[in-house]
Structure 1
Amino acid sequence: MRFISRSGAMTAAVGTGLSLAVLPTGSASAAEDIHVGCNDIPGLVDAINQANANGGRITLAPRCTYTLTTPDNPDDGLPEITGDVTISGNGSTIRRDPNATESFRIFHVVSGGTLTLKSLTVSGGDINNMGGGALIEQGTLNLNDTAIKDNLATTGGGLYNTGGQLNLDRTAVERNTANGFGGGVVNDGNGTMTMKHGSLLKNRATVNNGGGLENILGTASLESVSVRGNTALNGGGIRNLNGSTLNLKSTTLKDNIAVRGGGLSNLGPNTTATLVDSLITHNTAITAGGGIDNQAGGQVTLTNTKVIDNEPDNCAPEGSVPGCTNPTTSSTIDPPSSQQLLPDDDIKDPE
């Protein structure tokens, strides 16, 4: 069942027998609060279409699973986001049915669209294209207390942002897989990504690069984020390349694995990575750059940051990262305080 809370103008007019002529112009197009019953997929589709047209806030049933068995359009489980749409999940999940015969992602935000998700899990997206959980094409996606998990795509297993704005707050991107690059997130095409108080956890780029995050020609800023347990060929935790800008503050890269650049791979001229009050530790590379692999003129700046106890080395090539030393000596960078680093167990999904 779907419940819609509208402006009181129409009810008052009808209830008192007034002429419709006294109604204020445009009242029928006012934004609505739309409540969608548990697993009411037609109601959810209708609610998104209404919110696209008029702007609106959609509220899901608490702790319910909404299962998409077929796509709304060839690539997307739900209608494309073209307007200003907010979905409050109340701890619920929107997922692609594991037994669905067609491949599709869950959300698609197009140019001019803004989607805000609150207290929601997005899972099971499966597409031979970009963004298993969501694709952002020059639009805006805001994720608050949300989990993007167990999605699959060719690139950007969890999320793919191209030329848009991706904002993650207290959000987990977890156990997503890309058959190409960007297991957790791809930030591409001059896109902007900001992430605070969340995690990139156990994502995989199975045959390419950027296990947790692939930042290509974009700007990505992470603060108080745990980047842990991700795997890729290059850049197990994060790969930053092609003139991109990466800013890490109070962020931990730990237990990531790659052939090169277990924690971070920084590649190419005018590609910069700035790490402040952060920690890169216990990452593993098969060949070199267990903590950081800085190649082809890339620039990495460490401020009050430790790069320690990575295998087989902390930084490669030797001397390419000022202040980073390899296992024969410890880092000369002053260690951050315990309050500045995320604890090991700060990787749980948001409640």
Structure 2
Amino acid sequence: MAAVAAAVVTGVTGGPATAVDLGGGTQVPCDAVMLAAAITTASAGETLSLHRDCVYHLTAENSPGEGLPTIAKSLTIRGNGATIVRDGPTAGLFRIFHVTSTGNLRLEDVTVRGGSASGDGGGIEVDNGGKLTLEHVDVRDNTATGDGGGVWVEAGAAAVVRRSWLAFNNAERGGGLFASGTLDVQDSEFFRNHARVLGGGLAQLGGDGSVRTTLVRRNTATELGGGVYTHNGGMKISGSKIANNTAVNRGGGGIVNSEQLTLEKTEVNGNVVGGPGGLGGGILNDASGAVLVLKGSKVTGNSANGNGAAQGGGVYNTSGTVTLDHSTVSDNASTTAPGGVYTDTLVTVIDSKVTHNIPTNCSPGLVPGCVN
């Protein structure tokens, strides 16, 4: 199971950890058929307790595109270290869980692995009106031909992610997680997920998102937002670290923001955009009206290193609003100046520093106090 991600000031770590005995509930033997039956017959509000450390092998669809019965009621599944896995290529293509508009699924101490959806939500799909809570859950090795390799949260749905690890998932948008609804993430990690278009770690398109004390690292996107992509909604990231993510082509090695994003006490470090003309190694603030606010945060060691006009190793802002409040943009690099902050609008600077970037620090005259 996933290790708890600590606040960035203490160092955020992730990866498998020991299972937690949460006990209680209706006991489910170590058998996938019995698990499906238990979900079907459970009363609303019931808790199912899985056999400790069991691997529940799903070898066939329960219904078209679904490995287990759809969740249309309030249900808690307490894993006790168990794994629920789609059992290889002979099992066909299906996701593991589907939460409908009337469903409220709470997963605890369990691994959801190997789902493969034709459409959205390779591991877990949550419909409009549905609710999902992940507590100490690994969501890994899932794939979607659409969005949300690990988890897909539709507009009007809500997801809470606590002390969880989303890793090695793959999708068009939102390799680890895609949300158009409400998203609340804390003490978790997004690791080595891939988006074939945008949002390697997570993508939020609509709704409001909160990400706290979480590590987003080593994720990739072919086009935009190697770590995080946010658009048509508001997101606040606090006490977190966005590190060593890559956008292969267009922009935002760490983050792309096209709406409203606040970073508070957060590090954006070691991210890369690699394509010719790639923009914003750390952060791409990419739309007229996009608002980016950094409070007590650091953008360091990022790079826009592709050939041609690759620019804005730290921050690239086009037509948006940027505020640097007690923050630092340093030691970033780009092929074309400036390497620290590129902007075409005046940046608000409050007791902040833009220093030691190459080939220069900032767009002349648009970042008050910055010296090239």
So what's the TM-score if we normalise by structure 1? Answer: 0.75
Match in the other structure for 1:191: 233
Residue 185 of structure 1 and its aligned partner are, at CA, apart by 1.0
Secondary structure class of the residue paired with 2:223: coil
Once the 2 structures are TM-superposed, how far is the Cα of residue 152 of structure 1 from its aligned partner? Answer: 0.9
User: What SS does the corresponding residue of 1:33 show, helix, strand or coil?
Assistant: strand
User: What residue identity is the alignment partner of 2:264?
Assistant: E
User: Could you say which residue in structure 2 is the equivalent of 1:20?
Assistant: none
Q: Give the drift of 1:320.
A: 1.8
Shift of 1:163: 1.5
What does 1:330-345 align with in structure 2 at a 5 Å threshold? none
The CA distance in 1 between the partners of 2:184 and 2:293, in whole Å, is 19
For residue 263 of structure 2, what is the amino acid of its counterpart? L
C-alpha deviation, 1:241, in angstroms: 2.3
Query: Following the alignment from structure 1 to structure 2, what is the Cα–Cα distance between the partners of residues 49 and 241?
Result: 33
Are 1:223 and 2:264 an aligned pair?
yes
Give 2:174's match in structure 1, choosing from 102, 110, 131. 131
Corresponding residue to 1:96 among 117, 122, 141: 141
SS at match of 1:319: coil
Q: In the alignment, what sits opposite 2:341?
A: 292
Partner of 1:107: 151
Aligned counterparts of 2:96 and 2:250: Cα–Cα separation in 1: 39
Instruction: Give the alignment's Cα RMSD to 1 decimal.
Output: 2.7
Distance in 2 between residues matched to 1:142 and 1:237, nearest whole Å? 23
Answer yes or no: is 1:208 the counterpart of 2:244.
no
Give the aligned partner of residue 332 of structure 1: none
Is 1:144 aligned to residue 191 of structure 2?
no
Q: How much has 1:36 moved relative to structure 2? A: 2.9
1:231-280 Cα deviation digits (max 9, x unpaired): 11111000112220001101000000012111100112xx1001111111
- Are 1:239 and 2:284 an aligned pair? yes
C-alpha spacing 1:114/1:134, structure 2 compared with 1 (3 Å): same
Q: As a proportion of its length, which structure holds more helix?
A: 1
1:47 touches 1:58 (CA, 8 Å); kept in 2?
A: no
* Partner residue, 2:207: 164
1:93-145 per-residue CA deviation (whole Å, 9 max, x = no partner) reads: 21116xx7978711110011001111111011222x211111112x0111111
Partner of 2:9: none
Are the equivalent residues in 1 in contact too, given 2:121–2:149 (CA < 8 A)? yes
Match of 1:306? 353
- Unpaired stretches in structure 1, ≥5 consecutive residues: 10-28, 327-351
Q: Which amino acid aligns with 1:253?
A: V
Match of 2:99 among 45, 49, 57: 49
- Aligned to 1:254, which of 265, 284, 300? 300
Q: Deviations over 1:191-230 (max 9, x none)?
A: 11110100110111111111111111x0000101010000
Q: Between the two proteins, what is the percent identity of the paired residues?
A: 31
User: Alpha carbons of 1:174 and 1:76: their partners in 2 closer, same or farther (altered >3 Å)?
Assistant: same
For the Cα contact (< 8 Å) 1:48–1:85, is it kept in 2? no
The aligned amino acid for 1:219 is: Q
Structure 1 letter corresponding to 2:337: A
Report the number of matched residues. 288
Instruction: Report if aligned partners of 1:255, 1:281 keep a CA contact under 8 Å in 2.
Output: yes
Secondary structure at the counterpart of residue 99 of structure 2: helix
SS in 2 for 1:210: coil
C-alpha distance 277-68 of structure 1, shift in aligned 2 (>3 A): same
Q: Which residue of 1 aligns with 2:166?
A: 122
For residues 101 and 299 of structure 1, do their structure 2 counterparts lie closer, same or farther at Cα, with a shift above 3 Å needed?
Answer: closer
Q: Distance in 2 between matches of 1:7 and 1:163?
A: 30
1:283 aligns with 2:283: no
* Equivalent position amino acid for 1:230 in 2: N
Q: Confirm or deny that 1:84 pairs with 2:135.
A: no
Counterpart position of 1:34: 77
* CA distance in 2: counterparts of 1:272 and 1:59, whole angstroms: 40
Q: Distance in 1 between matches of 2:302 and 2:126?
A: 34
Partner of 1:182: 225
